[in-house]
Every structure is written in C-alpha cells, then in structure tokens.
Structure 1
Amino acid sequence: MDILSEIVANKRVEIEQPDYFQTLEKVVDELPHVGNTCDACDGKPARAATPDFIEALTSAPMGLIAEVKRQSPSAGAIRVPFEPAEIAKAYEAAGAQVVSCLMDKKYFGGGEDQWAAVRAATKLPMLYKEFVIDPRQIFHAEALGASAVLLIVAVLTDEELTSFIHLVQACGMTPLVEVHTEEEMKRAVAANAKCIGINNRNLKTFETKIETTLALRELAPADCTLISESGIRTADDIRTLKDAGIAAVLVGESLLRQPDLEQAVKDLMAV
C-alpha cells in the first residue's frame, strides 16, 4: 500500500471515531458573528464572512500560501521547537497572503488545537489542508473559519469531486482542487474547478519535481487560478513559476527549516 492510500484508509477509520467531530457544535456556537440576524439562519446571528482566498492571493504579483506543518511522513519532524502561533505571526509579518494549516494528526501532527492557535494569531485567510473524503469535514472547515478547503482529486471519485466543490462553494469557501497528473487535471477541469493546485510532490512516493507544474499548466483553462505546491525552495523557482503564469505558490518545509522565518519568506518571494 502506498502512503496516500494508507493515509486515506486511516482517515476513513479516524472520522468515524466518536470524538472526531465532538467539538463541531461548540466551534459553530463560538463563531464570530455580525450584529444582525439573517433570514437564512433561522433568526440566529449571521456568520461574519471569512477573508476571500482568491482575492488575497491575487493581490500580490505572486501569492504565497505559507504552511504551518509540524511533520510529514517523508521528512519527519520539520521544525523544533514547533510554535504554530509564532510561525503564523512571522508569515503575516513577512507579507504572506494565506496561511495553510494541516489538520491530519497521525501523519502530519496537525489538528484542531493547532488550527485554533494559528487562527487566533493571524487575520490572514486560512486553508483547511486535510484529506477530505466526507462532507462533514467541509462543514468542520466552515465552522473553524476556513477561507478555502483542499480537495485532492486522487482520493475522490468524479461524483464526490463535483459535489464537494459545490458544497465548499455553498459554505462560502473556495475549493482548492489539487492535481498531480494529466488525468487528474482533466478530471478537475471537467468538474469545473476554478482554483487548481498542481502538486509537484507525488503523494504516492513523495518524490518532488517542479517540472510537474510547468507540464500540467498547459491543460488548465485560461480563467483558472493556478497554484504550484511543494518542492519550491528558491527565488529562482518563484521566478520560473511566475513567468509560466502561475498565480501563487504553497510553501512549507523549505521555509520552516530556516531559523528566521520572516527573512526566509522575504528572500523566497524577492521577485
């Protein structure tokens, strides 16, 4: 079994545990609200809108989704000590447009507590980065105040992909549809994905090459916001992707391994 299949198999078991969504109702009750009620909310206060994901990314010449990640199956522990709130503050101070937060606990050391620490530390839009295989996870993302939800084409059927895209949008968030192969890109386009992340990392082997983005971008529609994910380490990489018409990048490990996060972001995005 490859690592992606193993993670997804574990996720199917994990989300059925009695305590997995135990805080969902509490989180919903504690969401920030505006003062007025809305008819669609059965007289309850309306939820304050989360910052717009696409708008934030396209406000810069090259948008940056900076990732908060404790560990990965391929790299082990990435940053010690790991302080999610301080990492998020450094990212925002350095000019990042979005913060990505890992939700998977077993393989990536993420979870609700980590999300809450980051959410309290920054006003930037946040990406709910999880192996989403169940609609309840999308509602969970909404309850936590996410601006976008990662949907990985490789782990979803065509029917699931289309319905999850619609559900994320109906919840007022942006679906970031992730692809790695030509076949997955074609499926994303067929599902009418408007924001596509091209993952340079093969999630089955965890091998990474930036050429994946350069090859697959040709298959995306002109009106699609393209994001390159993983394996991005230098300002030269950023320039190459920018010249190729990529709107934003998602970077985590290469930043998190630097002692001065703020300076690392500035050096990387100096284009």
Structure 2
Amino acid sequence: MTILDKIVERKHVEVREAKAKISIEELSQYPLFNRTCYSLKESILDSRRTGIISEYKRASPSKGIINDTNSVSEVVKGYQDAGASAISVLTDADFFQGSLDDLKAARAVLTIPLLRKEFIVDKYQIAEAKAYGADIILLIAACLSTEEVKELSFYAKSLGLNVLLEVHNEEELNRNLFETIDAIGVNNRNLKDFTVSLSHSYDLVDKIPNSYIKISESGISDPVTIRDLKKAGYHSFLIGETFMKTTDPGKALVEFIKEI
C-alpha cells in the first residue's frame, strides 16, 4: 500500500466521522459559506503579482516536521504582502499536521484566493472548504475516477468555488478535461513514492489546453526554474517547502521574488 493509498483510506474514515457530527446543511449555515470567492484566474493573471501560490505546510510524510513554529496567520499574511497570487493551506491532520482551523485563520487575514490543500474524496469536504473560507479546492486525479472528478468539480462550481485539478501524467490529464475545471496543476512529486522531477511539468505543458490556467507544483526551489517554467508556458507555481523551511517564510518569498 502506497502513502497515497493510506491517506485516501484515512480520508474516507474522516469524512464518515465528520458527517456524523455536522451535516452539509449545517455547514451551509456557517458565516463564510455564502461569501463570494475570489477568482483564481484573475489573481494569477494580475501583472502586479507573481503567479506564485505559496503554501503553509507544517509537515509532510516524506520530510516530517518542516516548520511548526510560525503561525499560519503570520506566514500567509507575509506571503500576501510579498506578492503571492494565492495561498495554499494544508488541512490534513494525520499526515501534514494541518486543520480546518488553519484555513479559517488564513481567510481572516487574506484578500487573495485561498486553496484548501486536501485529499478530497467526497463532496462533504468541498462543503467544508466553502464553510471555512476557501476559494479553491484541489482534486487529485491520482486518487479519483474520471466520474468522481466530473461530479466533484460540478459540485464545487455550484458553490462558486474555483477548481484546481492535479495531474501527474498524460493519461490523468486527458481523461479529466472538463469545463468545470479552472486550472490544471502538474505535480512534479510522485504521490506514490514522493520522488520529484520537473520533467513532468515540461513534458505536459503543451498538452494542457490553453483554456486552463497552467500550474507547476512542487520541487521548485530556484528562481531560475520559475523563469524557465514561464518560458515553457506556465502561469503559476505552487511552492511550499522552499519557504516553510526558513525561519521567516514571508521574507524568504520576498528574497526569492527579487531573483526571478
């Protein structure tokens, strides 16, 4: 069983437990549920910003603890002030030490799009994302069928959320090209063994239709890589560990941007 298999198995348990405590109908009464989401596309294409989606991530299955000292509010505000186009917040508890409270704390200090970074297997998690202030949800092709991607993305759009589809190869890309997807992210990290290679982004960029925002995810630690990926055709770049492993992630982003 791969790490991804273990995570997905755990997600189904979490969803059953969460549904037993709070219904979707109750989530729809949360104050943030009816707010209008910020547009991911508008923010990414805004020339005043960088195209960078900066991530708040305390830990990961492959690295263990990355940064458990800087608060989510402090970090994401620093990212926003530095020029990030959007913010990603991990909400998985068991494998990444995140929570929905982290998402809510980030929303309280942000005026740019916020992504709930989660392994979504049920529309309940999408309702949670809306209730806790997310603007964007992530659908990972590696752990969803084509029909599930279609149904979940349709539900997310019905709530006004932006949808980011994550793929790792051409097969995952080609079977999930729906109009309910706003952006396609190519994950350079293999979720089954956590190896990283930027070749995934370069191999797939021209195969992604131009109607989608193109995002390169993971393994980006050098400003030169951003320049190269932009030339290749990417609009956006999701970066987490590069900044989170420092004592001041916001400042690290400022210095990174100076070198682009």
- TM-score class, shorter-chain normalisation, is over 0.9
**Shift of residue 262 of structure 1?**
2.6
Q: Deviations over 1:147-170 (max 9, x none)?
A: 110000111111111111111111
Asked if 1:197 corresponds to 2:156, the answer is no
| 2:234 counterpart residue number | 246
Asked if 1:269 corresponds to 2:257, the answer is yes
CA distance in 1, matches of 2:123, 2:28: 16
- Structure 1 residues 185 and 85, CA, compared in 2 at 3 Å: closer, same or farther? same
Aligned length: 258
Kindly indicate whether the alpha-carbon contact (under 8 Å) linking 1:53 and 1:125 is maintained by their aligned counterparts in 2. yes
| 1:94 counterpart residue number | 82
CA distance in 2, matches of 1:48, 1:242: 32
CA distance in 2, matches of 1:107, 1:85: 21
**Shift of residue 54 of structure 1?**
1.4
CA distance in 2, matches of 1:94, 1:25: 38
List alignment gaps of at least 5 residues for structure 1: 34-46
Asked if 1:108 corresponds to 2:135, the answer is no
Asked if 1:51 corresponds to 2:38, the answer is yes
Q: Deviations over 1:126-179 (max 9, x none)?
A: 001111110111111111221110000111111111111111111101110000
**Shift of residue 268 of structure 1?**
2.3
User: 1:17 is aligned with what amino acid?
Assistant: E
Kindly indicate whether the alpha-carbon contact (under 8 Å) linking 2:154 and 2:180 is maintained by their aligned counterparts in 1. no
CA distance in 1, matches of 2:50, 2:12: 36
| 1:44 counterpart residue number | none
CA distance in 2, matches of 1:6, 1:258: 29
Secondary structure class of the residue paired with 1:107 = coil
Secondary structure class of the residue paired with 2:176 = helix
TM-score (norm 1): 0.89
Asked if 1:31 corresponds to 2:31, the answer is yes
Secondary structure class of the residue paired with 1:108 = coil
Work out the percentage of aligned pairs sharing the same amino acid: 35
CA distance in 2, matches of 1:96, 1:26: 33
State which of 169, 187, 209 in structure 2 corresponds to 1:181: 169
Aligned pairs (5 A) from 1:62-73:
62-73=50-61
- Structure 1 residues 268 and 128, CA, compared in 2 at 3 Å: closer, same or farther? same
TM-score (norm 2): 0.92
Kindly indicate whether the alpha-carbon contact (under 8 Å) linking 1:188 and 1:196 is maintained by their aligned counterparts in 2. no
When the two chains are superposed, the root-mean-square deviation of aligned CA atoms in Å is: 2.0
- Structure 1 residues 244 and 150, CA, compared in 2 at 3 Å: closer, same or farther? same
Asked if 1:223 corresponds to 2:211, the answer is yes
User: 2:13 is aligned with what amino acid?
Assistant: V
